[in-house]
Structure 1
């Protein structure tokens, strides 16, 4: 795994050097025409069909990309049908995908293709079909991330790292001449932005899900430990003010207390925030590189969007998380199983979604198309490779019904943040005991 990830980082750095020389900017409109992988030798191997199964019928893909409905997905459906005339794909988008798909999976009925939710890998065979027959196992990164007993059940849509996505003009207008490389410098930059009449950080607090980095990626980076979340299983009280979780949560709480977030965090709007960051009304996001093309296509140009690692302390040294995004999974009971598998393969190889989404491609032989990664890597962050979720820890999280983004919300707004950690620790310990862990 480590060898492949080092190869991935080498590819990223090489591609970014070429991008810097060639000035190749992408505003999220790429449809995959120039970076398709070499097609398989036969139509059956290319489609993923088994034993000559016909690629046909109608399938539905449940996705979290509400912004692509009636837009890019229309083109995807058209192009997929051009390749497979007897097949049709429909798209259903939801905002709270993880919760929604879990509910639908528990009912026994869910769409043909989904983004696999947070369930133990041992449960994957209960719901999903193996994807080993797609001919992708040796060509992708993170193939073991959603696998069980040697079989692959999920293929990541791409890879991401998390950091500060910012409007360069807003920084310049506020008199910020150097990118902050310590936490104190970060707060100072936020103060300058606030003084210039700009909202320093778009938290999208009300929407909840955009808060995810503060409860996971930032904490793992502070700890310098990709296994931090899994190591919670050894503790009855994993959330403490003075450990990596408390330190990460304290940064976003400090931003709130100093007035560096939206004026009314309870009335934020995700879609509008992209336009506000693009226009410079808001200056920054703390999110993954996937949001870069979304900002660039919301009212600005790609060269006005920058990306740097969050300086979470004053050491000048920065760790960053590198992780797979959501993984495509195929409902094992799909009435059009071969078509559903063919669609997953098509999404990975031909759709161009990874370019559109600003991902580091999951295909080893495809170069990333996000020039902002060159700036990000110029600050010499240490990449912390993601590891698969420990099943026992996932079971505790589900038993305790812990929503990490809700933890962020409660911690930020509480008059007594320690009481929030105490509550979550109590829920954790109770669930852990109930499961016999």
Structure 2
């Protein structure tokens, strides 16, 4: 029997230590798609330039046995979808028993408590810890044969080994009410910025608010400052290039071009009449009813619009045509990452379960994600429509720790900067203000 008092003290000390080492900035470039209204920002892991290694494939089928525990945040799936998954999983792996454990509180904190106690479940999602800590707790997953097939393989890798695989990915685009489009005489989705503006004008003339921005709430503007600048620049590492300059915000780079699009939509009257008094919950109902026509948000919002009072076949999804080239690019961001505990008594069984969840479960369709496997087409109607446009999905990169440090020192809030830019008489003055703050913080930190 363990000394409970000693264990409790040890856990408290270790959680405190993990909290310090795991502290980091929000990686706003990689907002996770969740079941909540606002997608939760994920903490940027440490970057690594090392390529994942390839090892012999793990054992499979009836050769593997054992009992494993999967700690999950999807409490809504226990006793439902997970039961169905387990039935199909056991058809392939009859000797593996899987127990699903629900995280009833903050998943990140609960996971850290388990890590501190040294009593990790066999399979879990990786909490916010530095990538350098991954080998301390988790087993490498390179032997699953998935390393070259998955997206974001570098996000949870360290020194050339893969420790985490994304459960699914999200993208951002125009979520729209098909009936509102049809009633306004829009027969095809726009493929250029001019076509997009023309569609907005038709919607406005029909008495429909073209785009719900939820400007006042600020967080719905995230993609205008985190995703669009990098796809306009054609460079997934564009945000990290701020390290090389004292004037990262200019009218002719990704930031200026992106925010100028949002500013133009407001000036033409294509956003809410009073953008300083928007209401997020009401906007979902307004999109569902056709009072508003569009959102520019992640695919995670599609099911919320349907749930607000419309049918799935009335909701569409297409990439934002941010210029007139006709070429479409959209951001791609990961959600939680599966991991296998290093000290699991049944590592092979745990790895088999992770591999099956990635390749065979269909979880990405249930959760509304794009598959973590490169090139795999979604079974969801809206994502099929999105992918059928020929859009190129640009994987985000990890935020450089120095960029995060300077950003925090400068107290730079990019969505708030977007608000200032859109409403300013002279948007250049907004950039001048934040360039000055950036340059000072960069100098003060010795960068």
Matched, 1:89 2:99: no
- The change in CA–CA distance for 1:369 and 1:267 in structure 2 (over 3 A counts) is farther
Matched, 1:199 2:218: no
Of 408, 418, 427, the residue aligned with 1:417 is 427
Q: Is residue 72–residue 103 contact of structure 2 (8 Å, CA) maintained in 1? A: yes
1:9 corresponding residue in structure 2:
none
Aligned positions of 1:180-219 closer than 5 A: 180-219=190-229
2:161 corresponding residue in structure 1:
151
Of 57, 60, 73, the residue aligned with 1:41 is 60
SS of structure 1 residue aligned to 2:378: coil
Count of residues in Structure 1 that have an aligned counterpart in Structure 2: 375
2:333 corresponding residue in structure 1:
324
**Pairwise CA distance, 1:383:** 4.4
Q: Is residue 128–residue 153 contact of structure 1 (8 Å, CA) maintained in 2? A: no
1:181 and 1:133 mapped to 2: Cα distance? 40
- The change in CA–CA distance for 1:426 and 1:73 in structure 2 (over 3 A counts) is farther
**Pairwise CA distance, 1:251:** 1.3
Q: Is residue 370–residue 383 contact of structure 2 (8 Å, CA) maintained in 1? A: no
Query: Structure 1 length normalisation: TM-score?
Result: 0.69
SS of structure 2 residue aligned to 1:429: helix
Of 68, 79, 83, the residue aligned with 1:55 is 68
Matched, 1:408 2:418: yes
Kindly provide the CA deviation profile for residues 117-153 of structure 1, in whole angstroms up to 9, marking residues without a partner as x: 6x8x655549964552783545522211232212334
SS of structure 1 residue aligned to 2:101: strand
1:90 and 1:327 mapped to 2: Cα distance? 14
Greater shift in the superposed pair: 159-168 or 378-387: 378-387
Matched, 1:279 2:289: yes
1:163 and 1:354 mapped to 2: Cα distance? 18
- The change in CA–CA distance for 1:425 and 1:248 in structure 2 (over 3 A counts) is same
Matched, 1:171 2:181: yes
2:237 corresponding residue in structure 1:
227
Aligned positions of 1:121-132 closer than 5 A: 122=131, 125=134, 129-130=138-139, 132=141
Q: Is residue 45–residue 134 contact of structure 1 (8 Å, CA) maintained in 2? A: no
Kindly provide the CA deviation profile for residues 372-419 of structure 1, in whole angstroms up to 9, marking residues without a partner as x: 345445544444443444443344334445443333233234444333
- The change in CA–CA distance for 1:326 and 1:235 in structure 2 (over 3 A counts) is farther
2:79 and 2:406 mapped to 1: Cα distance? 40
1:433 and 1:343 mapped to 2: Cα distance? 49
1:433 corresponding residue in structure 2:
443
2:353 and 2:445 mapped to 1: Cα distance? 38
1:126 and 1:402 mapped to 2: Cα distance? 33
2:396 corresponding residue in structure 1:
386
Structure 1 residue ranges without an equivalent (≥5): 1-38, 47-51, 62-67, 95-100
SS of structure 1 residue aligned to 2:446: coil
2:280 and 2:333 mapped to 1: Cα distance? 22
- The change in CA–CA distance for 1:231 and 1:355 in structure 2 (over 3 A counts) is same
1:301 and 1:251 mapped to 2: Cα distance? 30
Query: Structure 2 length normalisation: TM-score?
Result: 0.67
1:329 and 1:414 mapped to 2: Cα distance? 44
- The change in CA–CA distance for 1:422 and 1:41 in structure 2 (over 3 A counts) is same
1:139 and 1:350 mapped to 2: Cα distance? 14
**Pairwise CA distance, 1:76:** 5.5
1:410 and 1:335 mapped to 2: Cα distance? 51
2:438 and 2:341 mapped to 1: Cα distance? 32
Greater shift in the superposed pair: 140-149 or 357-366: 357-366
Kindly provide the CA deviation profile for residues 11-46 of structure 1, in whole angstroms up to 9, marking residues without a partner as x: xxxxxxxxxxxxxxxxxxxxxxxxxxxx97268979
**Pairwise CA distance, 1:267:** 4.5
SS of structure 2 residue aligned to 1:164: strand
2:150 and 2:368 mapped to 1: Cα distance? 17
1:200 and 1:300 mapped to 2: Cα distance? 18
2:272 and 2:263 mapped to 1: Cα distance? 13
Structure 2 residue ranges without an equivalent (≥5): 1-57, 91-96
Q: Is residue 200–residue 284 contact of structure 1 (8 Å, CA) maintained in 2? A: yes
**Pairwise CA distance, 1:362:** 0.6
1:429 and 1:126 mapped to 2: Cα distance? 37
1:19 corresponding residue in structure 2:
none
Q: Is residue 173–residue 330 contact of structure 2 (8 Å, CA) maintained in 1? A: no
Matched, 1:369 2:379: yes
Query: RMSD of the TM alignment (CA)?
Result: 4.3
Q: Is residue 165–residue 285 contact of structure 1 (8 Å, CA) maintained in 2? A: yes
